[in-house]
Amino acid sequence: MQQAIYRILDANLDRAREGIRIVEEWCRLGLNHQPLAQECKHIRQELASWHSKELRQARNTLEDVGTELSHEREETRNSIESLLQANLCRVQEALRVLEEYSKFDRPQMAIACKQMRYRVYTIESNLLNSDRHQQLQNSRLYLVTSPSEQILQIVDDALKGGLTLVQYRDKEVDDMLRIQIAERLCQLCHQYNALFLVNDRVDLALAVDADGVHLGQQDVPIAFAREMLGWQKIIGRSTTNQQEMEAAIAEGADYIGVGPVYQTPTKPNKAAAGLDYINYAATKCPIPWFAIGGVDLNNVSEVIAAGGQRVAVVRAIMQAEQPGLVARQFLSLLHR
């Protein structure tokens, strides 16, 4: 009986590790979603730690009657969603088998597999129930608002021009008015199927059900924001140098701002990072990033030539006479 149990444990450790690796590859290379990819990797490595030599030695592939078994539904995949769902189910089933059969003489392994199964449920919920990160990946132009009496009209016009990502930033008004404006902007963005983020304030993002939050270097840790907002929401971080970039990636940011590229009145105390930092991000940054700081239609071609594929702007749209036209011009250049 012990040999049979060892074979079951061996087979399901292989099955769980294979399945989670397939999910991990999509999170990493399909979505560029570092936190989910990291969580998959942690689970895979934890499974490997339980895959002992005695379990591997129990393997008997030649006498395994299940190697030839298949089903027509396993032969094809008609979407990424179906592929992910199939492999997440595979991992969950394997973990349940591991949990039950390891109870005979490996109680700690049983506990660990139960905990991992719930972690995989969380990955499934966040991966399959939200397309925000794919929208983020596809976004090229990012509007960061500045205080304006015409803010709703400006954003509406820019959204009509093809804008797909908006951050509400206003440090001058009180919280009651800030919530009112954020709610209306959030509704407006969602009418156009655009993402809506809030600057700095995790509580405000929660209050209006924003798609996420953008954090500066002096704001709350990304881990805290993630705990409050969950994996489905987007968390960005401003960076001004290579060290801040690496820290933001390690902390699990979904995207980063790279800049300021040029001197800007929005950040009067920040020296321009210049095009060298853009070039560095283009070769080293594994997650979506946006060149920001003084970028406008006159210099965006320099940013693109340095490797920038996404830009974030403030004055170029907020102070434009025709925000929609400017948005279209930016997008035309960025998609070229």
Beta-carbon count within 10 A of 57 CB = 11
The half-sphere exposure of 80 on its side-chain side, counting CA atoms within 13 A, is: 12
Three-state SS at 255 = strand
Tell how far CA 98 is from the center of its chain.
Answer: 30
Cα–Cα nearest to 84, from 49, 139, 33, 46 = 33
Contact residues for 261 (Cβ-Cβ < 8 A; gap 6+) = 272, 273, 274, 275, 277, 278, 291, 292, 293, 294, 295, 299, 303
Answer whether 88's CB lies under 8 Å from 16's CB: no
Annotated catalytic, 238? Answer: yes
Catalytic choice (169, 201, 233, 237): 169
DSSP string, 202-249: HHHHHHHT-SEEEE-TTS--HHHHHHHH-SSSEEEEEESSHHHHHHHH
d(CA 55, CA 333): 57
Structure tokens at 314: 């403030």
Say whether 267 is catalytic.
yes
Q: Tell me the sheet residues that pair with 166.
A: 143, 196
> Which of these is catalytic: 102, 139, 146, 238?
238
Distances in Å between the Cα of 307 and the Cα atoms of 277, 301, 315 are 10, 10, 22
Active site residue 96: no
Name the strand (E) or helix (H) holding 258: strand 255-258
Q: Which residues are catalytic?
A: 169, 238, 267
